[in-house]
Structure 1
Amino acid sequence: MIPYAEVIGEPIAQSKSPVIHGHWLERAGIEGEYRRCLVSAEGLADYLAERRADPAWHGCNVTMPHKQAVLPLLDHVSPLATRIGAVNTIVRGIDGTLAGHNTDAPGFLEPLRPLLAQSHLLRMARVLGTGGAARAIVAALADAGFVLVLAGRDPAKARALLDELAPASGGLEHHAVSLAHFADPTDFAFDDRQGLLDLVVNASPLGMAGQPPLAFDLSHMPPGSVVYDIVTHPARTPLLDAASAAGLPTVDGLNMLIGQAAKAFALFFGTPAPREDGDAELRALLTA
């Protein structure tokens, strides 16, 4: 009986998770498999009922459109996943119980940990997008002490998301704006950057292959900003290329993809993902 985990969603053929987990299983010398499984919305409950009864199944990653729909079908949901309102990892217990987790939030923060270990007078993040990924990112950044400016096509949706996931506390006030706000140049005079941490995050699919471009004028980036784009195809987006050309540090979407997968791998297989090479070989596989 070979243990296995898988990724579910509709569609599912585009998922890079089998490449990631398959690579780690091989490197770790674990006898196990990681598969794709196309699961429709109508078939979600039956899928989980069948897998619950299969002791070889260790769990699954959950992609769109099921991240919220799985919540009432689980026995336990972690506090973070409950707060975000989305599960991206389900783990089967030895008694057949199903526990839901959200590894997107810690996966997003992983490449920022060296910066977050430092002290700052103020941390501010401009986050673009109000979809499912943005929910995890907003929660993660709020917990890390950032003042947030959340931009969406619908500012009212952005405001509601902030009120739900990042209520103001300690005198910090978050702001919701239209995505169009960042498309035109600004002559805003940013204050002294010393002691501040500025982050610009594209949490939308804009700029992804096959999607419209992201309209963001670099004048909205404070000096020294870290620019983070969660898009993975291409890994180097126009936003990251423009930021690099301006001399700003960048973080690509493979960081979040690999980071969240590593936390899921440990939950599935009971051992840390083998990442001794700093993910160099895995990144080469993902970008080949």
Structure 2
Amino acid sequence: MRPSGATIVGGVAGFPIDHSLSPVIHGAWIAAAGLNATYGRHGPDSPEAFAALLARGRAGELRGLNVTAPYKEQAFAAADQASAAARLVSSANLLVFEDGQITADSTDGLGLMLALQEQAPDLDVHGQAVVILGAGGAARAAAGALAGAGAAVRIVNRSTERAERLAADVGASVIVSQTPEAFGDAVLVVNALSVRPDLDVGLLEPGTVVMDMTYKPLVTPLLAAAKALGLTTVDGLAMLIGQARPSFQAIFGIEAPDIDVRSLVLAKLEQTA
């Protein structure tokens, strides 16, 4: 158990890790809240090194970790308890350590919903068709969150088998579609691929919202094409900040302060461009 008054230690783990923007976000919130806390980068270069980091967490040296590639699946497998969101994607981007136990969570889906609330506030997906491009871990998180919000989710992916597994896991509100008709009545299209999708945005209705989970570059070719047609767009940076909010609360025990962290992150991105 952490002694009263001791520094709360959080961080982010992945390899490579120097590019991570999480310390910028969490560091700003820590300073604004006046917490006795730290949030640093951890770059274990092997599964064994990551396991050693988790052992430090179990021993009480860490309160929590955000986890990025390539350790999300290992993080989930090492946990003693896992949220429904983490079980859906079989991976975790958040670990909380308490009394020698590890609790795993995935905050990507919530981050997506918070990003939509911020940058597409008029969007209501309940009872509406939405399209997700991809069927990997990011797509799973998106599908779970959107299906939970009452949307009729359609998965468009090159591999039908993988998309069908996702559809089966998320539930009856998800259908697999690879035809142009999949986009006809969609109120939202989410790119969950790590590459530019083969999508003609001219197929979309004028009111469709287009989201790209990628934030480097901030305005991806997909978002640029959508903006050119006057469509509402949602960028991956909004999702990154959105998924960090529940992580901050889980690790540090308070809600993230209401400050403009986006400007700080944009400045950091410009420095590293």
Instruction: Classify the TM-score, shorter chain.
Output: 0.7 to 0.9
Q: Which residue of 2 aligns with 1:48?
A: 54
Residue identity in the other structure for 1:199: L
User: 2:85 aligns to what?
Assistant: 80
Q: CA deviation at 1:119?
A: 6.3
| Aligned counterpart for 1:139 among listed residues 129, 136, 144 | 144
Residues 1:96 and 2:95 are matched in the alignment: no
Are residues 2 and 246 of structure 1, via their aligned partners in 2, closer, same or farther at CA, if it must alter by over 3 Å? same
- What's the counterpart of residue 14 of structure 1? 19
Q: Which residue of 1 aligns with 2:3?
A: none
- What's the offset of the Cα at 1:59? 0.8
Q: Matches of residues 136-215 of structure 1 in structure 2 within 5 Å?
A: 136-164=141-169, 166-168=170-172, 172=173, 174-177=175-178, 190=184, 198-206=187-195, 213-215=196-198
Please say if residues 235 and 287 of structure 1, whose CA atoms lie closer than 8 Å, have aligned partners that are also in contact.
no
**Which residue identity is paired with 2:208?**
S
Partner AA of 2:267 in structure 1: L
Matched, 1:228 2:233: no
Structure 2 partner of 1:268: 251
Q: Are 2:56 and 1:67 equivalent residues in the alignment? A: no
Deviations 1:144-176 (A, max 9, x none): 122222122212211111112x221xxx56123
Among 111, 116, 127, which residue is 1:112 paired with? Answer: 116
Offset, 1:72? 3.0
Shift of 1:122: 3.5
1:287 matched to 2:265: no
Higher normalized helix content (fraction of residues): 2
After superposition, give the CA deviation of every residue in 1:64-84 in whole Å (9 maximum; x if it has no partner). 122122223222111221223
State the TM-score, normalized to the length of structure 2: 0.87
Root-mean-square deviation (CA, aligned residues, Å) is 2.5
- How far has the Cα of 1:274 moved from its partner? 1.4
Residue type matched to 1:9 in 2?
G
**Equivalent residue for 2:37?**
32
Q: Assess if the C-alpha contact under 8 Å between 2:187 and 2:208 holds in 1.
A: yes
Q: Summarize the Cα distance change of 1:189–1:80 in structure 2 as closer, same or farther, 3 Å threshold.
A: closer
1:29–1:53 Cα change, 3 Å: same
Using the TM superposition, give the Cα deviation of residue 286 of structure 1 relative to its aligned residue in structure 2, in angstroms.
4.1
User: Matched residues, percent identical?
Assistant: 37
